[in-house]
Structure 1
Amino acid sequence: MATDEDRLLGDLAERLRHDDPRFFHALEAGTPYPPREYRHGTAWLTLAVALGGLALGIVIGHGLLIAGGLVLAGIAGHLFDPDRARARTGRGTPPPSW
């Protein structure tokens, strides 16, 4: 007979499998793989393009390129946020009120 702890661990494993299947399968196989919160490849690429566009806009004096670079830099900053999925879905606990 399964105990409450076994049921809770099973629920936790199922939630992990649903939230980040790549990490779950790597954990199950015993091969380390960073969780989704620590994978920032797209964010780094977006930041590099943003800085390139911003620098080019400053060098040639084109306001639209400067604005585009700043917008892309803001998007890249948002992609670095580890809690962006929680903010998008509204799940999770609210921040503590000091």
Structure 2
Amino acid sequence: MTESDDERIADLEAALWHDDPRFARGLGKGRPRRPREYRQGRAWLAMTLALAAVVTGVMVPHGLLLAVGLVLAALAVNLFDTTRRRRLNRRRL
């Protein structure tokens, strides 16, 4: 490889380490983890709690609990948007 190719690879590696260190560490060990875009555990947990609040608000006719569940569901849906996270990371740089 030429020297410019080595520099490009080093730049890509540095960007990967900066963007997602857990993925880069796993890749270096030969056991890669999911990239950040595909890790949505918190989003699923938030959605489950929101839907539980909605169902409970419907079963026990309680309007405030139902409204809180719907608001939480809207917030949880926002957590699934991976492009939003990428845009926020770029603004920080």
Question: In which range does the TM-score fall when normalised by the shorter chain?
Answer: 0.7 to 0.9
Code of the residue aligned with 2:82 in structure 1: it is P
Counterparts of 1:5-84 in structure 2, within 5 Å, are 5-84=5-84
Structure 1: unaligned runs, 5 residues or longer = 92-98
Code of the residue aligned with 2:88 in structure 1: it is R
Distance between the aligned counterparts of 2:55 and 2:12, measured in 1?
A: 46
State the identity %: 47
Distance between the aligned counterparts of 2:36 and 2:46, measured in 1?
A: 17
4+ long deviations beyond 4 Å: none
CA RMSD of aligned residues (A): 1.8
Structure 2: unaligned runs, 5 residues or longer = none
Question: 8 Å contact 2:24–2:32 — kept in the other structure?
Answer: no
* Structure holding more helix per residue: 2
Alpha-carbon offset, residue 88 of structure 1: 2.7
